[in-house]
Amino acid sequence: MSKAYRLLNHGPTVLVSAAHGGRRNVMAAAWNMPLDFNPPKVAVVIDKQAYTRTLIEASGEFVLSVPPVALLQQVMAAGSQSGRDLDQDKFEACGLQAASVSAVGAPLVEGCVAWLACKVLPEPEMAARYDLFLAEVVAAWADSSAFSDGRWHIERDEQRSLHHVAGGAFFTTGAMVQG
Amino acid sequence: MSKAYRLLNHGPTVLVSAAHGGRRNVMAAAWNMPLDFNPPKVAVVIDKQAYTRTLIEASGEFVLSVPPVALLQQVMAAGSQSGRDLDQDKFEACGLQAASVSAVGAPLVEGCVAWLACKVLPEPEMAARYDLFLAEVVAAWADSSAFSDGRWHIERDEQRSLHHVAGGAFFTTGAMVQG
């Protein structure tokens, strides 16, 4: 857990998922960052229109999943439509698989390379004024073929994380350098 | 200005610079993100120990500069020592060049690929509780050889931005993919 911040530290675009009252949803969010080391905290911007936000505000929980290049089209699908407007579950509409965890009621997104289960910190003014949600990370996991012992060791191109610029254009995570 | 968020949207580690009362300083910050489109806003986490924070709190202004790989060692230097402990100006200690702008009193860092001049939004509780600073971007610029017309078009490896993981290990910005 003391190394959970490293899952977001390089600035990837994430999928935000939440569930409440038998409904679940997922969205894409480039505007996220670590907020503290230990206990780990995160900050993420979630628009007032987002159906995922409704579920987060009702449940007080969400999961951040770090999608790899292999999920590029699914991330695009998650980022370009609202669960509010769909007749079907948005995971299914986007070709994404959800999985349950015990730490929070929100589902995680299968096929991602890292996951952070989060509980919202009560800062309603930040949400109202800036669409900003602060949360404590209560559990975190990573695909051990991409991240283990607190270090990323991405070997296959399809495991690289995505860094959205605009309009569906993403940088992928490139080579590592040591300062 | 409506595209200023694109300078940070892909999650680069930035240099934060500030000045007040004839003193100036610079630090590295991986924990930053866009907060709004128009007017553009940003969020950045700045530790209570940081001398740059003292200057930001006194002046209400800072600049975020996006350093390229070419400045890797200077970014490391900026991230591994405090201006509070130095006998000399930290820009000089790190081998960085400062430049003045009219938009804010804080200097920008030469040799970077993008710059955002920011005025702090008055949210003192966020700074006190989370070391979190929210700010409005009042001017933004980019190196036109790397970013123009609202688009990144990085061609040379040394222009790639840096994405800190931990302990001086950085991912560099990789290939672009279109979803």
Could you report the per-residue pLDDT of A81-132, keeping only the tens digit for each? 999 999 999 999 999 999 999 999 999 999 999 999 999 999 999 999 999 9
Chain B residue numbers touching A165 (CB-CB < 8 A) = 6, 9-10, 151-152, 176
Percent share of chain A, pLDDT over 90: 99
In the predicted model, is pLDDT for residue B155 greater than 90? no
Cα–Cα distance measured from residue B53 to residue B123, given in angstroms and rounded to the nearest whole number? 14
Residues in B closer than 8 angstroms to A169, CB to CB, are 151, 176-179
Contact A176 B172 (CB under 8 A): yes
Name the band, by pLDDT with cuts 50, 70 and 90, for residue B170: very high
How far is the C-alpha of A137 from the C-alpha of A39, rounded, in Å? 7
Q: What's the confidence (pLDDT) of residue A135?
A: 98
Termini Cα distance of chain B = 25
B153: in domain: yes
Domain residues for the domain of A71 are 4-172
pLDDT, position A30: 98
Q: Which residue of A has its CA nearest to B33?
A: A31
CB-CB neighbours of B170 under 10 Å: 28
Looking at chain A, which residue has its C-alpha nearest residue B41? A130
Instruction: Please judge whether B35 and A32 are an interchain contact, meaning their C-beta atoms are less than 8 angstroms apart.
Output: no
pLDDT averaged over chain A? 97
State percent of chain A over pLDDT 70. Answer: 100
Domain count, chain B: 1
Residue B156 pLDDT grade (very low, low, confident, very high; cuts 50, 70, 90)? very high
On whether the CB atoms of residues A119 and A61 are closer than 8 A, the answer is yes
Q: Judge: B30–A11 Cβ closer than 8 Å, yes or no.
A: yes
Check residue A167 and give its pLDDT.
94
**Quick one: pLDDT at residue B154?**
92
Residue A56 inside a domain? The answer is: yes
SS (H, E, C) chain B: CCCHHHHCCCCCCEEEEEEECCEEEEEEECCEEEEEECCEEEEEECCCCCHHHHHHHHHCEEEEEECEHHHHHHHHHHHCCCHHHCCCCHHHHHCCCEECCCCCCCCEECCCCEEEEEEECCCHHHHHHHCEEEEEEEEEEECCCCEECCEECCCCHHHCEEEEEECCEEEEEEEEEEC
Residue A49 lies in a domain: yes
Which pLDDT value is given to residue B106?
98
CA–CA min distance A70, chain B (Å): 11
Residue A155's pLDDT band (cuts 50, 70, 90)? confident
**Residue B158: CATH number of its domain:** 2.30.110.10
pLDDT of residue A101: 95
In a domain, B177, yes or no: no
Answer yes or no: is A179 within a domain. Answer: no
In a domain, B27, yes or no: yes
The pLDDT of residue A14 is 98
pLDDT digits (tens, 9 = 90+) for B46-83: 999 999 999 999 999 999 999 999 999 999 999 999 99
B175 and A172: CB-CB below 8 Å? yes
The answer, yes or no, to whether residue B135 has pLDDT greater than 90, is yes
Q: Kindly state whether residue B179 falls inside one of the protein's structural domains.
A: no
Residue A22 lies in a domain: yes
Taking CA–CA distances from A174, the nearest residue in chain B reads B174
Count Cα atoms within 13 angstroms, Cβ side, for B14. 28
**Length of chain A, in residues:** 179
Average pLDDT, chain B: 97
